[in-house]
Amino acid sequence: MQYAKPKTVAEAARLLKDEAGVTRILAGGTDVLVQMKAGMVEPALVVDIKGLPGIREIVAEAGGYRIGACVAGAELGEHAGLKALWPGVVEGAELIGSTQVQGRCTQAGNLCNASPAADSVPALVAAGAVARVIGPDGVRDVAVSDVPVGPGKTSLKKGEFIASIFVPARPDRASDAYLRFIPRTEMDIAVASAAVSLELDGVGMVTAARVALGAVAPTVRLVEAAGAALVGTRLDEAALDALSAACSAACAPIDDKRGTIEFRTHIAGVLAKRAARIAYTRAGGQA
């Protein structure tokens, strides 16, 4: 294995493109090093991108924030501005692993490892976050929802990597929330999860809503019908039931030791309801 720590994005893209063998990007390493240890992957080249300019910074941009690809979970939790604007995005990332894992894990790594249960992804999808991808042919912006294409697979091309993730500006009365179900209280993989992002008008009516589910399909799923069920309501019981039904209808989960198809399908709707209530209260709505 070769290790490289490039100082420019051009050099990083070139190294990744020119290597004929298996490559991995090293951000926090909390997936890569575990997979190397287990013999699941034997990279010919590991490119440590933590030395790239700005890659560890959170910068205010156009009323939102641009989060560098190597900002660790713990650093997101310490950023008051980001937490105030997108609390659900931050709580998703903060649920990854232990304090030790938080010291290293990144949202971009979580996204590109492409686990259907990745905890930071549903809230980013609900937020309409956009990844800035750099590659041998230059720069392009890609919706976070279009990055994972299946378990362990992304739409990124050879030589491409994510440099940052942008979460947009939002109106005053708007917020989001993320919830997952795990059998313990800490340190476990989501059996199902839900993220809800809402915007309200002055009287607490929902004017826009986006709902994303995790661990119930091969990739995180944006459920447009679930968001639509909330728009034009004050989150009354009928709206929440419609949300829950739309979520369950969008589930195509697997059966495994962590949860049955039936359980995952049911619980995804329950989590979406609860997350919607939290987001609504955070946005200033009177539940």
Partner 1 sequence: MSNIHVTTSINGDPVEFVCAPDEPLLDVLRNRLGLTGVKEGCGTGDCGACSVLVDGRLVCSCLVLGVEAEGAEISTVEGMAEAETLHPLQQAFIDHAALQCGVCTPGILVAAKALLAKNPDPTDEEVRFWLAGNLCRCTGYDKIVRAVQDAAAQMRSA
Ligand X SMILES: Cc1cc2nc3c(=O)[nH]c(=O)nc-3n(C[C@H](O)[C@H](O)[C@H](O)COP(=O)(O)OP(=O)(O)OC[C@H]3O[C@@H](n4cnc5c(N)ncnc54)[C@H](O)[C@@H]3O)c2cc1C
Answer yes or no whether residue 30 interacts with partner 1 by CB under 8 A: yes
Beta strands in the chain (DSSP E): 2-4, 23-26, 45-48, 58-61, 64-68, 130-135, 138-143, 148-150, 153-154, 161-167, 174-181, 192-200, 206-214, 221-222
Q: In the complex with ligand X, which residue's Cβ is closer, 110 or 197?
A: 110
Q: Of residues 15, 41, 101, 142, which one binds partner 1 by CB under 8 A?
A: 101
Q: Helix-strand-coil percent breakdown of the chain, rounded to 5?
A: 35, 25, 40
Q: Which helix (H) or strand (E) holds 275?
A: helix 261-282
Amino acid at 12: A
Q: Residue 159 carries which side chain, given as an amino acid letter?
A: G
State the number of CA atoms in the 13 A half-sphere of 59 facing the CB. 14
Does residue 1 interact with partner 1 by CB under 8 A? yes
**Choices 80-88, 90-98, 228-236, 255-263; region in contact with ligand X by CB under 6 A:** 90-98
Residue 98 binding partner 1, by CB under 8 A? yes
C-alpha R_g of the chain: 19
- Find the binder of partner 1 among 15, 41, 74, 225 (CB under 8 A): 74
Contacting ligand X (CB under 6 A), which of 13, 27, 195, 216? Answer: 27
Tokens representing residue 194 in the block: 């839900």
Q: Which segment (29-37, 57-65, 81-89, 150-158) binds partner 1 by CB under 8 A?
A: 29-37
Per CB under 8 A, which of residues 43..72 are in contact with partner 1? 46, 48, 50, 72
Query: Which residue ranges make up the site for partner 1 (CB under 8 A)?
Result: 1-3, 5, 26, 28-30, 33-34, 36-38, 46, 48, 50, 72, 74, 97-101, 103-104, 185-187
Query: Which residue ranges make up the site for ligand X (CB under 6 A)?
Result: 24-32, 34, 49, 69, 95-98, 101, 104-106, 108-110, 112-113, 118-119, 156, 161-162, 189
